Structure formats: C-alpha cells, structure tokens
C-alpha cells in the first residue's frame, strides 16, 4: 500500500429479531431484518507498517488494542486463509458505542475484510469463502459485507435482500451508557424461556404469522425476542422505549441484544422534539431522516 487510507464502518439496527430455533449445540437460530444506518461512523485509518511487522492496532482505548479486537481477528483470519499478510498499521477511531446492539465491532471487522480483499489481488477469496470467514468472526459480520437491508436466518450467514425501506420516516436512536453483553442476553433468554422448548425444536410465535405490512408498507411489525429477557434486568431500557412512544413514535424497539433503543416517527418535527426532550436527560440521542 502507498500512503494513508481511511475506510469507514457504519452501524445497523435490527428492525425485526426473532429466535426461531435453539439448536442442540446451544446456538440460537434467528430470523432478523438488518437495516444499515448512516451513522455514527467508526473510522479505520490504515497506513504502511514497518517491514515485517504484520498488523498493529491503535484505538485510543487500551482494552480494545489487542488481538481479541475483531479488526485484528479479521486480519489474522484473512491472512491464514490466503497467505496475504500486508504490513499495515490501523488507527481505529470508535464512534459506534459498544454493547449497544449496533454491530460496531462487526462492522469494523467487515471493513477490514473488504479492504484486505481489495488489496489481495490474485490471493483474494471467492465470495462464498469470504462469507464463511466472516461468519466465523461473528454472526453480524456477513451483513456488513453486504451493506444493504437484508433478512438473515440461521446464525446470520444466510442473507436475503429485502425491499424494506424507511423512506419518509425519521428514526430517533437512543444509546444509553448501559452496555448489554450479547452472551448475557441470550443466556438470560434461555434462563427465562428455554425450559418450555425442546432442544432442537423450532419456536413458533404469533409474530411469524402477522401481516408483514401491519406496521407500515414494506416493513414487518417491530419485534425483538430478546426484549422480555433484557428489560427486566435493565428496566431503564424499557423506560426509554416507553418515552419514545409517549413522544409520538409510531413504533419503538431495542436493537439486537441492546442497549440501544430506536423509535420510528412519521413526522420529522416530532422526531426532532423527541431528540430535544431526551437529550436533556444526558444520553446519546440522534435523529436520522430517511
């Protein structure tokens, strides 16, 4: 590589998330609708490293500057699969909050994979192999390779393009300081609900049978199977959802395993009023207008 290159990683929300099956190995299969957001944006600034140095990472947060970081893991996995090991230093600027259900780490990893794929030349992977590598890094990573609204099933590796769009809508995204560990959220769901499900059995719910246009044209009804597990432990998240609805949101939901909560507003003015109202509570809140 020559000179510094900056690549950007954007977040997502889940407009729908349903646990459809708990496999005998304990993994949860999902049906979820990923929707990309324009921000907040992480930046990966890539510059040539010293000869033979391989990969190095600087991110301003010491606990994240380690081989356990998904960006580092993406580099190592791609290098192991292809033999392509460029000497590169990455300065990661984090703006997507962690533990928020916005997929920041997964988006960063996908951005790294896409850059490596572009630089690898004849060593680049075919599309199927790249997706399989992404799956091993994390369930959300394949979606960020795709970057457009998509339904995901299985553990996230089976993607189907979606015509869902939010044109004409405003989204208010609230990111409280609370962080929710993804593993905890699924373990808590298991603790509360798994005893009623046979191992390996499909989980049938009324949400799968509802009219897919019930919420608004070209969107499914908002649903997140993890809310009933997470909200009792983090009641403040439920209060944020209630606040968005009381401020005029047509629908509100937790994204992923939390802790971010979003509300969808038909009127831009109501969304802006909600931002002003919630910002006074000193939480990270922003509006996206589609």
Instruction: Point out the residues that are catalytic.
Output: 12, 140
**How far is it, in rounded angstroms, from Cα 131 to Cα 117?**
12
Strands 261-265 and 170-175: antiparallel
Query: Do residues 34 and 12 touch, judged by C-beta distance below 8 A?
Result: yes
What's the angle, vertex CA 38, arms to CA 77 and CA 226, rounded to 5?
70
Give the DSSP letter of residue 62.
G
CA distances from 22 to 70, 83, 157, 206, 227 (A): 25, 36, 16, 18, 17
Q: Is the peptide bond before 40 cis (omega within 30 degrees of 0)?
A: yes
**How far is it, in rounded angstroms, from Cα 243 to Cα 174?**
11
Identify the three-state secondary structure at position 149: coil
Give the DSSP letter of residue 195.
G
Tokens of 183: 């593993």
End-to-end CA separation in angstroms for the chain: 36
Q: Is the peptide bond before 259 cis (omega within 30 degrees of 0)?
A: yes
Tokens of 200: 């390996």
Tokens of 274: 């909600």
DSSP, residue by residue, 102-147:
S-HHHHHHHHHHHHHHHH-GGGPPPHHHHHHHHHHH-TTHHHHHH-
Tokens of 197: 């499900």
């Amino acid at each position: 590589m020559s000179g510094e290159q900056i690549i950007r990683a954007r977040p997502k929300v889940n407009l729908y998330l349903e646990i459809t099956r708990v496999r005998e190995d304990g993994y949860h299969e999902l049906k979820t609708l990923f929707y990309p957001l324009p921000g907040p944006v992480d930046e990966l600034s890539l510059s040539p490293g010293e000869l033979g140095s391989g990969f190095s990472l600087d991110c301003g947060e010491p606990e994240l500057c380690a081989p356990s970081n998904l960006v580092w893991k993406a580099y190592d996995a791609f290098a192991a699969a292809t033999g392509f090991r460029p000497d590169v230093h990455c300065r990661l600027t984090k703006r997507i909050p962690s533990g928020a259900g916005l997929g920041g780490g997964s988006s960063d990893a996908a951005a790294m994979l896409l850059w490596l794929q572009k630089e690898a030349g004849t060593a680049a992977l075919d599309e199927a192999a790249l997706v399989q590598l992404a799956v091993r890094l994390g369930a959300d990573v394949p979606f960020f390779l795709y970057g457009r609204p998509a339904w995901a099933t299985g553990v996230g590796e089976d993607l189907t393009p979606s015509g869902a769009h939010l044109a004409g809508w405003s989204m208010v995204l609230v990111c409280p300081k609370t962080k929710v560990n993804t593993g905890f959220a699924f373990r808590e769901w298991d603790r509360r609900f798994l005893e009623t499900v046979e191992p390996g059995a499909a989980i049938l719910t009324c949400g799968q049978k509802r009219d897919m246009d019930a919420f608004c044209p070209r969107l499914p009804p908002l649903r997140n199977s993890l809310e009933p597990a997470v909200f009792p432990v983090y009641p403040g998240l439920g209060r944020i959802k209630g606040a968005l609805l009381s401020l005029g949101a047509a629908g509100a939901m937790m994204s992923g395993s939390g802790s971010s909560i979003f509300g969808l507003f038909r009127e831009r003015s109501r969304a802006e009023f909600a931002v002003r109202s919630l910002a006074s509570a000193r939480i990270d809140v922003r509006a996206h207008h589609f």
